Structure formats: C-alpha cells, structure tokens
Copies of this chain bind each other. A is one copy, B any other.
Amino acid sequence: MAKLVEFIPNFSEGRNQAVIDQLAAVAKSVPGITLMDVQSDESHNRCVFTLVGSPEGAEEVAFQLCKKAAELIDMRKHEGAHPRMGATDVIPFVPVKDVTVPELVELTKRLGKRIYDELGIPSFLYEDSATSPDRVNLAKVRKGQFEGMPEKLLQPEWAPDFGERKIHPTAGITAIGARMPLVAFNVNLGTSNLEIANKIAKIVRGSSGGFKYCKAIGVMLEDRNLAQVSMNMVNYEGTPLYRVFELIRIEAERYGVPIIGTEVVGLTPAKALVDCAEYYLKVENFDYHKQVLENHLIG
C-alpha cells in the first residue's frame, strides 16, 4: 500500500490573492500531491495550505513552495496579528498512512538542509524533529518573531538547525517538524463548577503528571452552563482517547459529577476512534491496516 503524508505549510501572506494563487499553482505542480485546502486570513495576513501525498512528492513540493514563497514574500514589509518569523513560517508533516513519525523526522531534516543549501533560508526543527527539548514547542521557537530573530540567533542555545546564525534577509527563517496528528477532544461534565474541570484537567494532562500526550485545561461552556475538560490529544496511539475518558469519568465520580457528553472537534484519523471501539468491544487481534476497508482505498 502507498505511503501517505499530510503537510500543512503556513505562509506569511493572507491579503494578496495573486501571491496565494501562485503558491497554490506550485502546490498542484507535483504529481501525486493533492492540495486539499487553502485557508487565508486577512487580519492574520497568513495562509495555510493542507496537502496530502507521497513522502517523496511532499518533500519536493515543500521545497518548491519555500522557493516560491521566498520569491514572492518580503518579510520586511509583513504585518499581521499572527506570530511569524518566515515567508514560509512553519511546515508540519503528519503521517496519514503506512508512514511513521521517525521517517518524517528524516524527511524534515533533508528538507531543512536543502532549503539552506539551495535557497539560503535557515530553519529550526520542532516537535518530534526537535534537536533539543527547548525546540519542541513552536511558540518557544518562534518567540521574538521575524524582527527579533537576528538577535535571538546569536544566543548560544538558538543556532538554527540548518544554516548560519543569521536569517534570510527577506524570507526570514522557517520551522519544520514531524508530529502525530492532533485530535481535539472535549469532555463535558454535569456541573457548572469550573473548579472541578480545572482539577480534572490537571490530573489528566502530561505537564502535571497525567498522560504524556494529553494537553488539557478546564473551560466553562457559558451557553450550556457546563464545565468542560478541553483537550488536545497530541498522540492518540501513545495516549488513546478512551483512557483519558475513563480517567475523567472516575475522577469526576468523586465529586458526584457525571460525564454528560463529549466532542471531537474538527478532523480526526479514523484510527483514533477505532482504537476506542476495539477497547470497549474487547476485540482481539484486530489488524487496523489490513482489516479496515478504507485503508485499501486511499493512497
């Protein structure tokens, strides 16, 4: 079966449609790569492409997009509400089918090297590609933004992963990283007491001792008068959804609070939910890749 990767380059242009169109033309120029979605935002002055295809095609078209963005976008003139540091600001790579995160880490390293060697654009590796714990989080990497980068790169710990300690004069610097797909999963509690949601969020999230691949905060759903544990599941294989659901259920019980319902926000890989069905239905020896019909139809 064919390997498939999703990648989501973010460009620092959300107002000039001609520029976005030229980038889209490049995105469609490599066989086997599909441009699935283009979102642009004028106030952010930023556009986000979603592409899917073969790892080889993804690597090539990501390079071509960086090249075209460097031709068309001058960061010295860029302003917008969203933090940014490069013409091609960030490119996450996500496995979709028959490809592993470590394979994509290798891809991001080849891509970062090529972007510097051929275009003179330096880059940071982030998320699972990060070369130090400080570089995992994109917000930390991007802190200082385009204008602050020349100074930041001179700090001992902030040499780029590829390139010298200076930005490209107009294209800035790019973050490139591989990561698992993220599932936004919220659990609504049968209480209007936000404190309970906050306590449970702290219990389940990795940063305070809970599940490694779970980020969680308590929020209030004002319209329903319900407290919610709002989560980003950043690796649904490492921390399956049913496991946080069940932990939240038993922690809420001590307050006499039931789970009212849950939400999956936006896109999810089917496997994140099929894995849960396997748990609850006690399915033995299920081979997701072979036994799920759709896996034979994509790619």
B294 touches A269 (CB 8 A): yes
Q: Does A96 contact B (CB under 8 A)?
A: yes
Contact surface of A with B, Cβ cutoff 8 Å: 4, 6, 36, 52, 96-97, 181, 188, 241-242, 245, 259-264, 266-270, 273-278, 280-286, 291-299
A266 touches B291 (CB 8 A): yes
A281 touches B242 (CB 8 A): yes
B262 touches A283 (CB 8 A): yes
Tell me the minimal C-beta distance from A185 to chain B in angstroms.
8
In the complex, what distance in Å separates the CA atom of A242 from the CA atom of B99?
A: 31
In the complex, what distance in Å separates the CA atom of A298 from the CA atom of B181?
A: 18
Q: With a CB–CB cut-off of 8 A, which chain B residues contact A276? A: 276-277, 280-281
Q: With a CB–CB cut-off of 8 A, which chain B residues contact A260? A: 282
Tell me the minimal C-beta distance from A48 to chain B in angstroms.
15
B262 touches A281 (CB 8 A): yes
Chain B CB within 10 A, most for which of A269, A294, A298: A294
Inter-chain pairs besides A268-B291, A276-B281, 14 sampled, C-beta below 8 Å? A96-B297, A242-B281, A262-B281, A267-B293, A270-B270, A270-B292, A270-B294, A273-B274, A276-B276, A276-B280, A280-B280, A294-B294, A294-B295, A297-B299
B284 touches A262 (CB 8 A): yes
Given A264-B291, A293-B268, the answer on whether A278 and B284 have CB atoms closer than 8 Å is: no
A280 touches B4 (CB 8 A): no
In the complex, what distance in Å separates the CA atom of A262 from the CA atom of B286?
A: 10
In the complex, what distance in Å separates the CA atom of A125 from the CA atom of B291?
A: 29
* Cross-interface CB contact of A264 among B52, B241, B264, B283, cutoff 8 Å: B283
Q: With a CB–CB cut-off of 8 A, which chain B residues contact A280? A: 242, 276-277, 280
Given A273-B278, A274-B274, A276-B277, the answer on whether A284 and B268 have CB atoms closer than 8 Å is: no
In the complex, what distance in Å separates the CA atom of A6 from the CA atom of B294?
A: 11
* Cross-interface CB contact of A284 among B36, B261, B275, B293, cutoff 8 Å: B261
Tell me the minimal C-beta distance from A34 to chain B in angstroms.
8
B291 touches A181 (CB 8 A): no
In the complex, what distance in Å separates the CA atom of A55 from the CA atom of B280?
A: 35
- CB closest chain-B residue, reference A37: B296
A245 touches B281 (CB 8 A): yes
Q: With a CB–CB cut-off of 8 A, which chain B residues contact A188? A: 284
* Cross-interface CB contact of A282 among B261, B269, B295, cutoff 8 Å: B261
In the complex, what distance in Å separates the CA atom of A270 from the CA atom of B276?
A: 12
In the complex, what distance in Å separates the CA atom of A266 from the CA atom of B36?
A: 31
Q: With a CB–CB cut-off of 8 A, which chain B residues contact A96? A: 293, 297
* Cross-interface CB contact of A270 among B264, B274, B281, B285, cutoff 8 Å: B274
B282 touches A259 (CB 8 A): yes
